[in-house]
Structure formats: C-alpha cells, structure tokens
Amino acid sequence: MKKIYHPLLFLAMCASMAACKKDDPVEIVTLSKAGREFYFGEKVPVWAGTNGDKKDITYSWTATGGTFDGWRTQNLFENLWIAPAVAGEYTVTATAKDGKNTSTRSTTMKVTRYFFDEFQDNFTTTGSGWSESNTDRKVVADTDPAKSIIEISNKSTSGPNLRRSLNLAELKIPFSVSAQFGWKSYFRANQAITFSLYFVQPVANPTYPFLKEIRWEIFPTVNPATTDNYQLRLVTNVPSNTTGDQFSANGNTAATLPLPLPLISPVKGKVPALAMASGVEKKITFSVDANHVFHAYIDGVLWFTSNGLKDWLAYCKATYAGFEDPVAREFRVAFPAKANNNEKVSTIFLNSVYIVNDGSILK
C-alpha cells in the first residue's frame, strides 16, 4: 500500500531532519603536532581535526607546561605551543564547543634537550631562530630523516654565515655542542669552515675580562700531512683594554693571565681525522663539563681534554670580585666568501646540530 504524506507533515519532517543534522555533536577526532620531540622554547604547531557541524565552533587550549603564542590563536582549531625550558613530558589539550556540545582531546609533548635541528623541512629555517648573512640556502629533505640536510652556499665576496640565537633559555656551563657537516662540489682552497659559540658580555662589572667566543676552524681540503688543518682557540675581551679581542696563543701561560690560555697546544696544527672529501660527513663536538673541563670529539672519538678554560675562569673568579659565569648567546657556522665574483660557489651542508645543558657530553 502506498504511503501518502500530508504536505505540511512532510515539510515538518524535513525541517526536523535538517535540525538533527545541524545538531550533529562536535567531536575532536585527531590532535596533531609538528614533530615527535622538541627543544627548549621551540614553537610547535598543533591542530585539531574535528567532526560534526563546524559552524560556530570555538576552541580553547591548555597545557601542563609551556605557553601558547598569543591570544589570537586561542579560539581557533590550530595553535602554536611554546615548549618550556625544562626537559620532560607535557600535555596539550584542545577543547571544542559548539554551544551545546563539547569535545576534548589531548596529546603528549616530549621536550628532550636545549636545542636540536635535523633540517627535515623548510619550517626549520623559517621560524625557529636561524638567520644568515650573504648565503643562499635550501633544505634537501629525504624520507630518511637522518639523510636530510641544509645546503648553504656563498653568493658574494662578503663573508657568509648561518647562525642561531640561544636566547630562548639561558645556556650556561655545563654544555655540549655537536655538528654533523660537510662540503659539496667545490670549496675555496686553503679556507676554513668555522664553528663558533659566542657569549654575552656581562652587564655587571663591564670592565672585567669576559669569554667572548670558542672558535674551532677546520680547513677541510688541505693535506694534513703537510699543512695545518685546524685552529682551536678561546677569544676573550677586556672592554677597558684598547687592544680589543685576545686569542689563545701557544705562548700564553699562567704568567700571561688574563690572556686566554690554549685549549690545545699547538692551537693550530695537523689532524688527519679532519680531512674531508666532497660529500663526506664529519661530526665534531665541543663541550665544557660541570668542572669547566673542555672536551673535543671528532666522529665520536675523544680528541683531547683541556683545563685551559677551567684555569682561565678560576683566575678570573679569584681576581675579580663578582666575576660571572659565561652565558652563551649564539651558535654560528661561517665559511669563505668568493675570492672574486667569477669564482665558483662554495657550498657546505649541515646534517644536524645538537646542544645540551644537562651535564652530558655529546660524542
């Protein structure tokens, strides 16, 4: 028997069905994050995937640690979480509301160390504190994260560098810094790749000497059998001294303090392990432990330890009342500019950079 609906009844049923459809409950089905582990102060995109009627949905965000980047994102389905400066696991929670219904979902954020970068995507170089001078750079991503790199090329006769500020959290001794790197295709002859850690000039007692830089220069293409291929020095400065920066030198001894003592003697020399062919990766690590002892590793093998910085700091603390411990402000990689505008482009690459301040020594 065929059913016949009264027109008004039919319209009422349609309206009811539409209302039911509109009232589909909101549900957060996914809460995603950009990465699996994070460093101190890292800005991490997080976003919710929501089912149901999306009209008039508002969102709220909470976290057991860290903060969110401003009020403008608090009511949106996506947010920017800023990791705290303490290692640990934290929970980020998103709540969606549509006026009648509420849905909540959480995700765990694992903060593991002071800083790291494995150069896996372009977000790495556009919002995470890296800056540059006189370079062209690009991320070469790979399905294997361990093979992703950032390539950096000189583009002029002015000195190029890539640098990262370390102001998201204070970096004091102890610390450990490692970099995995190489060069590709062409590298200007007899020139160096320089890794530096720069330090803040203390505001208190501005006439005191202070540690300005740890500088490790590597000459990758020279023959270490005949030519010096490293130079590793401390750089200090005495603001009241018109001679400016002071560098570690072979002849610096306790009698010459406060001149910076050598970390290694000679400060410039030959090490076969630092010779590098095109495309070959090398890993270096320099560290200062809790006792102020300096450690240097090449490809995971201990090269040397040194009391040079320890003795310099001990002298300064005994000589200058209120002398402050060094605080790092920037990690920098520099390499040669073009000798002239017609010279080939020199290109280096970084596979990873790691910095820790938990007392462990990277190798």
CATH number at residue 193: 2.60.120.200
Peptide bond into 174 cis (omega under 30): yes
Tokens of 44: 């991490």
Residues 327 and 288 in one domain: yes
Q: 97: domain range?
A: 7-112
* Domain-located, residue 23: yes
- Shared domain for 99 and 162, answered yes or no, is no
- Mean pLDDT by groups of 10 residues along the chain of 363 residues: 46 48 79 93 92 82 93 81 95 92 95 92 60 92 86 96 91 97 96 98 90 98 97 91 86 95 98 96 98 98 98 97 96 97 96 96 96
Tokens of 329: 């402000």
CATH number, domain containing residue 46 = 2.60.40.10
Strand, helix or coil for residue 256: helix
| One domain, residues 129 and 37 | no
334 within some domain = yes
- Give the pLDDT confidence score for residue 5 in this predicted structure: 46
- Tokens at 29, concatenated: 């089905």
Domain for residue 362, yes or no?
no
Considering the domain architecture, whether residues 205 and 76 belong to the same structural domain is answered as no
Longest dimension (CA), the chain: 113
Please tell me the distance from the alpha carbon of residue 142 to that of residue 360, in angstroms, as a whole number. Answer: 29
d(CA 111, CA 35): 11
Classify residue 363: in a domain, yes or no. no
Say if residue 106 is in the same domain as residue 128: no
Kindly state the helix (H) or strand (E) to which residue 16 belongs, with its residue range.
helix 7-22
Last-in-domain residue among 57, 85, 112 = 112
Own/partner long-range contacts of 30-35 (Cβ < 8 Å, ≥24 apart): 30/105, 31/92, 31/94, 31/105, 31/106, 31/107, 32/107, 33/81, 33/92, 33/107, 33/109, 34/123
264/347 same-domain check: yes
Give a yes or no: residue 343 inside a domain. yes
d(CA 336, CA 352): 21
Burial class (CB in 10 A: 0-12, 13-18, 19+), 342: exposed
* 2, part of any domain: no
Residues 92 and 197 in one domain: no
CA torsion angle 250 255 256 259 (round to 10): 80
Q: Number of folded domains in the chain?
A: 2
Output the CA torsion 324→330→331→335 (10° steps).
Answer: -120
Contact assessment for residue 37 and residue 44, using Cβ atoms and an 8 Å cutoff: no
- The answer to whether position 136 is within a domain reads yes
Q: What share of the chain is helix, strand, coil (3-state, %, to 5)?
A: 10, 40, 45
Spatial CB neighbours of 228, under 8 Å, sequence gap ≥ 6: 219, 222, 268, 269, 270
207, 234 Cβ separation under 8 angstroms:
no
CA Rg, the chain, in Å?
A: 28
287 and 299 inside one domain: yes
Q: C-alpha 202: how far from its chain's center?
A: 23
Q: For residue 14, what is the enclosing H or E element?
A: helix 7-22
Residues 152 and 251 in one domain: yes
Residue 106 sits in the same domain as residue 120: no
Q: Do 133 and 103 belong together in one domain?
A: no
Strand positions, DSSP E, 146-281: 149-154, 161-165, 171-172, 175-184, 193-199, 210-218, 230-237, 245-247, 268-269
- Judge if 157 and 92 occupy the same domain: no
- Read off the DSSP letter of residue 73: G
Last residue of a domain, one of 79, 112, 145: 112
Please identify, among 89, 112, 135, the residue that sits at the C-terminal boundary of a domain: 112
Report yes or no on 1 lying in a domain: no
Nearest-angstrom CA–CA distance, 296 and 218 = 13
